[in-house]
Amino acid sequence: MMRLGPKAPPSGKGTGSLTDAPKDLLKETRHLEELFTIDTPKLKEITHHFVNELTKGLSVEGGSIPMNPTWVMSRPTGHETGTFLALDMGGTNLRVCQVTLTEQKSEFDIIQSKYRLPEELKTGVAEELWGYIADCLQQFIETHHGDASKMGKHPLGFTFSYPATQNYIDEGILQRWTKGFDIAGVEGRNVVPMFEAALKQRGVPIKLTALINDTTGTLVASAYTDPKMMIGCIFGTGCNAAYMEDCGSIPKLAHLNLPPDTPMGINCEWGAFDNEGKVLPRTPYDAAIDKDSPRPGQQAFEKMIAGLYLGEIFRLIMVDLHDNSDAHLFAGQDISKLRKPYSLDSSFLSAIEEDTLEDLSETLDLFQTKLNISPSRAELGLIRRAAELIGTRAARLSACGVAAISIKKGYQSCHVGADGSVFNKYPHFKARGAQALRQILDWPDKADPKEEDPIEILAAEDGSGVGAALIAALTLRRVKDGNMHGILHPENFK
């Protein structure tokens, strides 16, 4: 069997029986392998283009990757202190935290509450979204501090993980919604006053000191405990990275005359890589996802990698092989449940890849209970292979982004902090990504398997809680030291 990419994990037994599969199923499996396999030369070509696109995003003309300056202008030392509120508006949940950076180096205490972000809010009305967030924050403050209206104003770091132009750290002009959000009247506007209006209406005593991206938070939170951390990544509902650039390499900030060696956190928004379709080997399934998304033509890279889309890619393949192929997948069965868009999330694929049983009977159970479909033994083999191909492609493409930043910055050896449901929960994602990185960067084989890779992608510290608090602390500190660059409301920093 053609097997590019990482060696099949030991649990990959189920695919072995594909050789006994009917000819048409085998043909479809081979076809999927051709569509989804990205070999090393192609990974290198993608990475090469990626490096150029990172540079282009920093230029005055710009490119498709936004490369947003974040006004995070230093790395933490581990000695930051203070108590901060942090609010994380992620793709799936809303989290409110109170983070205390303690006197003990690199230590923190955290209390937090998680709220589900109701699905209808993601495509609803802006006021309802801000109202809901403000309500959660109010509830949190009242639970932990009593009557909110009687308190002084709390400094808040707001993790708003969407592409936003920041002329200031306490501003975020939404460039476009990503991750399936589609709320009218927000794109092109600064979200901070909208959010503050909802807080004011409810009398919630908050002063927003920093609007941050989850990737920047991840970078800073991880650097707080590990000085080797140079890149922060999220592989979750969406996919993105941040790193520290020197102002001298950011032509689009040249008009501000910042000293060239001043560090500046850059939120890459690399989900937008190759929106123009130059290098990514997109399949018809990727094209279908894009076409039916709220923002066609946007987030090309993210739509091949992120958790929001992995299950949907799989679902589209299954429906296509039922409707249009000689293999007649699930012939004679009612696939109406499978026809529902976005009904399978990436945990469905994880479960398939985690099935360790020789006969893939856990996968059979999953299909029966969730979809009311009973795949044959040979169909189960194809299902397993499809999941592996989608998961492997996502991990290998992710590695191109990490390699590109490392090449751009000349990092020969560093740590990359990664967070998100795909990184933390998707089987083999880390190993597949690490192998791809090795192939792209031509590292020799390890003498000892326990040895660290030169560039190692590690589980990150909590970026949107601790990271947001740290960024609020770093900003307060630099304002106190007289660095007022990128501060819109100095009065909030007193």
Under rule CB under 6 A, residue 302 binds ligand GLC: yes
Residues 109 and 95: beta-carbon distance below 8 Å: no
Smallest separation (angstroms) from ligand GLC to the CB of 272: 8
Which of 161, 275, 293, 421 binds ligand GLC (CB under 6 A)? It is: 161
Nearest distance, CB of residue 236 and ligand GLC, angstroms: 6
Residue 311 within binding range of ligand GLC, rule CB under 6 A: no
- The residues annotated with a catalytic role in the active site are 161, 176, 214
Smallest separation, CB 161 to ligand GLC (Å): 4
Is 213 a residue that touches ligand GLC (CB under 6 A)?
yes
State the amino acid at position 108 in one-letter form: F
- Residue 6: phi and psi, rounded to 5, are -60, 155
DSSP SS3 for 113: strand
CB count in 10 Å sphere of residue 30 = 14
Query: Of 71 and 367, which CB lies nearer to ligand GLC in the complex structure?
Result: 71
Quick one: which of 132, 140, 158, 162 contacts ligand GLC (CB under 6 A)?
162
Given its phi and psi angles, is residue 360 left (phi above 0), alpha (psi -120 to 50 degrees) or beta?
Answer: left
Among 234, 366, 373, 479, binds ligand GLC (CB under 6 A): 234
Any contact of residue 178 with ligand GLC (CB under 6 A)? yes
- Whole-angstrom distance, CA of residue 405 vs CA of residue 248: 17
Kindly indicate which of the ranges 45-53, 96-104, 208-216, 441-449 contains the residues binding ligand GLC, using the contact rule CB under 6 A.
208-216
CB of 176 to ligand GLC, least distance (A): 8
Q: Is residue 238 a contact residue for ligand GLC (CB under 6 A)? A: yes
Please name which of 371, 316, 390, 105 lies closest in space to residue 227, comparing C-alpha atoms. 105
- Asked if residue 11 lies in contact with residue 354, where contact means CB atoms within 8 angstroms, the answer is yes
Please report, as residue ranges, which positions from 81 to 110 form the binding site for ligand GLC (by CB under 6 A): 91
Residue nearest to ligand GLC (CB): 238
CB of 217 vs ligand GLC, minimal distance in Å: 9
64 binds ligand GLC (CB under 6 A): no
Q: Is residue 346 close enough to count as binding ligand GLC by CB under 6 A? A: no
How many residues sit in the footprint of ligand GLC (CB under 6 A)?
A: 17
Q: In angstroms, rounded to a whole number, what is the distance separating the alpha carbons of residues 261 and 298?
A: 33
Distance of CA 117 to the CA centre of its chain: 17
Smallest distance, Å, CB 46 to ligand GLC? 18
Which of 95, 154, 179, 478 is close enough to bind ligand GLC by CB under 6 A? Answer: 179
Find the helix packing angle between 429-440 and 40-58, rounded to 10°. 80
- Does residue 163 bind ligand GLC (CB under 6 A)? yes
Residue 271 in the binding site for ligand GLC (CB under 6 A): yes
C-alpha triplet 393, 397, 399: angle, nearest 5°:
125
Our CB check for ligand GLC shows the closer of 382 and 468 to be 468
Q: Does 463 bind ligand GLC (CB under 6 A)?
A: no
**Can you tell me the distance from the alpha carbon of 301 to that of 106, in angstroms, rounded to the nearest whole number?**
34
R_g (Cα) of the chain, nearest Å: 23
Are 180 and 293 in contact, with CB atoms under 8 Å apart?
yes
Taking 3-state DSSP, the helix, strand and coil percentages for the chain, each rounded to the nearest 5, stand at 45, 15, 40
Beta bridge partners of 17: none
List residues near ligand GLC by CB under 6 A.
91, 161-163, 178-179, 213-215, 234, 236, 238-240, 269, 271, 302
